[in-house]
Structure 1
Amino acid sequence: MRYLFDEYALDVDRRELHRSQVVVPVAPQVFDLLEYLIRNSERVVSKDDLISAVWNGRIVSDAALTTRLNAARSAIGDTGERQRLIKTLPRKGFRFVGAVQETQSRTVEPVGSVAHSSDTTPSRPIAPRLSMVVLPFVNLSSDPQQDYFVDGVTESLTTDLSRISGSFVIGRHTAFAYKGKAVDLKQIGRDLNVRYVIEGSVQRGGNRFRVNVQLIDAETSKHLWAERFDKPVADLFDIQDEIVSRLANTLDAELIGAEARRAERSSSPDAMDLYFQGRALENRGTTPAFMAQAKSLFVRALSLDPTNLEAAVEAAQIDQIIGSAYMVDDRATHLASAERTIIKVLTLAPNHPKAHMVLGLVQMFTGRAAQGVASCERAISLDRNLAHAHAGIGLGKLFSGLGAETEAHLHTAMRLSPRDTNLHLWMLFIGLSKLALHLDVEAVAWLRRSLEANRNHPNTHFHFAAALGLNGDIEEARSAVEAGLELDPNFTIRRYRNNAPSDHPAYLAYRQHVYEGMRVAGVPAG
């Protein structure tokens, strides 16, 4: 069967999309989505209809569905703005509105080829990026009554991993079919068509829980990451939430790294390959060099696929970081660019958690701290594991002259994601709050911890230098200045002074304290 529309032909039997005589490359799920929309072009199909038909009812995040829809539109020359062929009807669903003609498939053999009956055997589809299954965790305790707790960890982790942008997570009902069975992980990968398997165990001994987790490449059975941690027994629901939050946040970073390594092996990377490579660079540190490289990758991704919302969000975040980390004099240009991009994303995907968080940070650094806090709170309501949104609220409190309230929000972020790639920033924010309270000795301790976590953040070096200067440790302060200038040679007190994100009197008084520390430490005046 072939469906002809516009200048395209969708060949269902060969699973190919043609534009004139050229094959348009599409991912398997994007092909299935197009086929379903076209087959049902006489009616509006709901989000649940699509998930049931294309993903067999598995858990799929709104961001993942939006990404696949945008990829389908891009493949047929449509966009989310024009909606010439695929129409979104708010609160109803989607409909293919192009004129469609059905024909029988044509048998087309490449020049010089010889047809064989075995050629018709369909090959196994390529597993989607960020596709995974969470196998039921094993209860290693002697008490079978702990099964409900262990199963709860599995179910909650399945749900929370589905919130990762672009993820594809097998539903818990399918995963629980493997409970208590000896399993071949490669076979599971083939059966479920996923790239990754997550397995683990929970053991209760006395007043402690021990959790072991592994992330495994389903194609090779290679262990990509493993973690073990102990928790004292307290409220079981609180423990379950904390375990799941920690795992989801850590796995997010590990999965991004795994996908980036896959992408590096591609001779012709597509938009998502470039996106994952950009994310991995972003996680290394907020130096001008890393930010420029990551931004270039996101821009390339958007040039290949202008509808890639995830790349757009990350490109906006890079602009937000450049504008807020004193890397340039024209910070307003970068922050304005970030806000324009994020507002466009939220128009297309109003429930995108990270987009709300980035918007909140932009608002904070453009004199709208209260709005920024509200945007971060909205992000948390959409994704409870978005630890950096909690950190953003803490920073917003500092900008609002409420530095005494900052630390609690940062500790919440660290509890949710204790090994987060942003951990050094959260320690920096606590250090800033200590400076705001003139607790300069405590500020030195937190800023030192921040640098131990990641030395690739110039601002931390300069604030560390200021705190040391205020404490009279001039020699170490000047060494910190030198380290900061190696990462960002253009940083000056003038640039820092001219880019204050808030005019709250208490915040400005804190800044004056920092200026003095930087001056004593030897930061260039500019």
Structure 2
Amino acid sequence: MLFLFENFALDTDRRELRRGPDLLSLEPQVFDLLVFLLENRDWVVSRDDVLQSVWGGRTVSESTLATRISAARRALDDTGEQQRLIRTVLRKGFRFIGAAQEVQTPVERRLTPCDRTPDAGRMAEPPRPSQHGRRASIAVMPFTAAPGCARSFADGITHDIISGLARLRALFVVARGSTFALRDQMSHPGEIGRVLHVNYAAIGSVEDNGDRLHITAELCTTDDNRVIWTDSYEIPRGDAFLITGKIATRIVSSLDAEIEATERNRAVLKPPNLLNAWEAHHRGLWHMYRFTEPDNEQAQRYFRRAIKLDPTFSRAYAGLSFTHWYNAFQFKSTAKQAEADSAFVSASRGLLADHRDPAAHWAMGRALWLRGEDEASIRELNEAIGLSPNFALAHYQLGFVQAQTGDAQAAVEAVEVARQLSPFDPMLYAMCAARAWALFRLKRFEEAGEWALNTIRQPNASLHARALSALVLACVGRLEESLREVDVVRRLRPGYTINDFFLAFHVLADDKPVYLAAAKQIGMG
């Protein structure tokens, strides 16, 4: 690749920087830094991004990084005072702000030594391109049935898992016909990956333990044959066919969660400039689920990059909508309307990209709630659940909306489904908070207090969830625990009052006096 800007030309293949006809001398790290900034010139890159790309994630001192930035500027006749081409964004990172043009160099020149065979200089067969585009891929192999077990039962679980994963629309799922055709031919993850060209393989078995059936399932990566998840289930033999669907649902949710976590971690370790749409999306998820304002901004950049690389990627639009939703809900309350509008626009574009993606309807349901359209929000969330009953976040969000202004008992039930589907979800704190609110409305005060405590025990509990917990604890007579939580709220946002709480949530008129009295009691009035 050749980057042209001002009177400079940077050739990534020859690793040359020229000013006019003159070849400039650069240290390798300074050259890599310039390439990284040019490739990512559409957004601000953080210090961590630079370290990951240029230093392979190794820890280096601030002075070392500053020295390389200064050297890059000197090579471009730039300075820290001018910042004509390389700008430092305070507490955010760096960005190349010059107008640059990318020019493809000839294919022959871009071949590296590893593209050629050792003999005769012939080109080796190129790596097989991904057949599944942006998505990770999985093969669910037919569960084996031990002697004495009905093969139809094992086949039924396999079929339900394949269908459940496909309805999530997050992964490329190999069709049942392909995996069942290979039933007795392979079981090794590496072989499954090689033949079916998938990233993950799900393998399971059913054994007869007398009056009970023992079901095991495991998820493996096919590139290194590593087991990344396994679980087992015991069910009464007589009820086997009645609860097959429930077992399959639990397995589907676990497979989806484990793959998403693995893909997020892989994306974090990869240099940002090398991310494809799928990886940029998962890098965005990694930042999004840290629930801080800087990470929320980083997440937005990665989701936008995923969308730029693949404008049909509905999940990236849903992620971008989530970040705008969080800005409106917590980080940028002064720009709440603008952020709510952005959340709605992103969700709408996600639906246009794939109207059968449950995440697109989930994002729209959240955006409609921000706009005060609770009934429309509930319809969208039910649509998401109808498309994929295994989509935990849709169940949670339905509980969130119902807990405040809708059917409180339905909220309890929806949140419980979400927790069963995703017991280690990053949004677990919010599930607990929604349940506490719903139980309080049902006048089940002791349970409400316990779930309020469960909320604040989660390491990533948000400001408003903590405020809700403090109010619920005060209302149910647990004043000491409530006051401790008020101190945490004040540390997170000095001056937080009940008005901030009312601005964040939808509270029924009949419930407001109760919360106002509690707020006055604990100093949040």
- Give the TM-score taking structure 1 as reference length: 0.70
In the alignment, which residue of structure 1 is the partner of 2:63?
none
1:78-97 alignment, distance < 5 Å:
none
Matched, 1:448 2:449: no
- Opposite residue 431 of structure 1, the aligned amino acid is A
Q: Which moved more, 1:273-282 or 1:174-183?
A: 174-183
SS at match of 1:202: strand
State the distance in 1 between where 2:388 and 2:461 align: 28
Matched, 1:134 2:140: yes
State the distance in 1 between where 2:375 and 2:241 align: 32
Matched, 1:179 2:206: no
State the distance in 1 between where 2:194 and 2:509 align: 59
State the distance in 1 between where 2:331 and 2:399 align: 19
SS at match of 2:228: strand
Cα separation, partners in 2 of 1:485 and 1:297, compared to 1, 3 Å: farther
State the distance in 1 between where 2:445 and 2:506 align: 22
State the distance in 1 between where 2:379 and 2:225 align: 44
CA-atom RMSD in angstroms: 3.0
CA contact (8 A) 2:321 2:367 kept: no
Find the partner of 1:460 among 455, 462, 465.
Answer: 465
SS at match of 1:384: coil
State the distance in 2 between where 1:310 and 1:111 align: 33
Shift in Å at residue 231 of structure 1? Answer: 4.1
Shift in Å at residue 433 of structure 1? Answer: 0.9
1:182-201 alignment, distance < 5 Å:
183-201=187-205
* Structure 2 gap ranges (5+): 1-105
CA contact (8 A) 1:249 1:420 kept: no
In the alignment, which residue of structure 2 is the partner of 1:427?
432
Matched, 1:125 2:131: no
SS at match of 1:122: coil
In the alignment, which residue of structure 1 is the partner of 2:387?
382
Matched, 1:343 2:348: yes
- Opposite residue 206 of structure 2, the aligned amino acid is V
- Opposite residue 360 of structure 2, the aligned amino acid is A
Tell which structure's C-alpha radius of gyration is larger: 2
Shift in Å at residue 151 of structure 1? Answer: 1.1
Shift in Å at residue 156 of structure 1? Answer: 1.5
State the distance in 2 between where 1:361 and 1:234 align: 42
Matched, 1:509 2:510: yes
Matched, 1:294 2:299: yes
Deviation readout 1:418-469 (Å, 9 max, x if unpaired): 4444333222111001222343322111122233444433333222211222
Deviation readout 1:194-233 (Å, 9 max, x if unpaired): 1111112233435544332222111111122222343455
Cα separation, partners in 2 of 1:373 and 1:279, compared to 1, 3 Å: same
Cα separation, partners in 2 of 1:109 and 1:288, compared to 1, 3 Å: closer
Deviation readout 1:145-193 (Å, 9 max, x if unpaired): 2x21111111221222223444112222221233245533212212221
CA contact (8 A) 2:265 2:286 kept: no
Find the partner of 2:223 among 210, 215, 219.
Answer: 219
In the alignment, which residue of structure 2 is the partner of 1:281?
287
Matched, 1:520 2:505: no
Shift in Å at residue 495 of structure 1? Answer: 1.7
Shift in Å at residue 124 of structure 1? Answer: 3.7
Matched, 1:412 2:413: no
SS at match of 2:202: strand
- Opposite residue 498 of structure 2, the aligned amino acid is I
* Structure 1 gap ranges (5+): 1-106
State the distance in 1 between where 2:489 and 2:235 align: 38
CA contact (8 A) 2:254 2:421 kept: no
Q: Which moved more, 1:222-231 or 1:423-432?
A: 222-231
CA contact (8 A) 1:199 1:213 kept: yes
- Opposite residue 154 of structure 1, the aligned amino acid is T
CA contact (8 A) 1:299 1:315 kept: yes
1:48-59 alignment, distance < 5 Å:
none
CA contact (8 A) 1:481 1:521 kept: yes
Q: Which moved more, 1:169-178 or 1:491-500?
A: 491-500
SS at match of 2:371: coil
Matched, 1:331 2:336: yes
- Give the TM-score taking structure 2 as reference length: 0.70
State the distance in 2 between where 1:303 and 1:347 align: 15
Deviation readout 1:43-94 (Å, 9 max, x if unpaired): xxxxxxxxxxxxxxxxxxxxxxxxxxxxxxxxxxxxxxxxxxxxxxxxxxxx
State the distance in 2 between where 1:307 and 1:111 align: 30
CA contact (8 A) 2:213 2:237 kept: yes
In the alignment, which residue of structure 1 is the partner of 2:480?
475
SS at match of 2:214: strand
CA contact (8 A) 2:455 2:466 kept: no
SS at match of 2:243: helix
CA contact (8 A) 1:326 1:499 kept: no
